[in-house]
Amino acid sequence: MRESLKGFKFKNFREIPEFEDKISVFLDGLDEELVHWRGYELRAGRRALRYHTEGYACLDGDKIVAISFYIFPRKFTLKWLHDLIFRPRGPEAADVVKKDYQKRGIARHLTRLKLQILQDIGLKNYWFRTDADNIAVLNWAEKNNRRIWKKTNKQVYFSVNLDIDKH
């Protein structure tokens, strides 16, 4: 593990006691990060993850400071149907790291852990998107040879195959 990651705990969402409360505190504390990440909704006046997710969190003490996850829409919902028709194979992937914790390799480490989820259920593909002006992610995607499968004025969509693409 990189020196910059020492002192942090990395846990599967399912292993975190009181996850819903802790994730709400994390999401409520986001500010600048929301410029490029909008994967939440308001529930009872607090932010919550919008869809059913499986993933990993980075904790500093008991406080979540970063998350990396896949979206697994519940079957036969509008999101599930939309993804089935219009998206490439596999779940959507997403990451968000609190600004004070960025540039330490946390997202990269969480993504590696998150890949185990796909391997455990036998999936080989996932996809992700970013805003067209998110230069950091676009540079990372280019450096890692991520394949663009769709572009709009506002977003760029990438498809990843675990058998082909490096991680």
Q: Which domains does the chain have, with CATH numbers?
A: 3-124 (3.40.630.30)
pLDDT computed for residue 89 by the predictor? 80
The low-confidence residues of the chain, meaning pLDDT below 70, are 1, 166-167
Q: Which pTM value belongs to this model?
A: 0.86
Q: What is the pLDDT of residues 109-137, one digit of tens each?
A: 999 999 999 889 888 999 999 999 999 89
Alpha helices by DSSP H, the chain: 19-28, 78-86, 106-121, 135-143
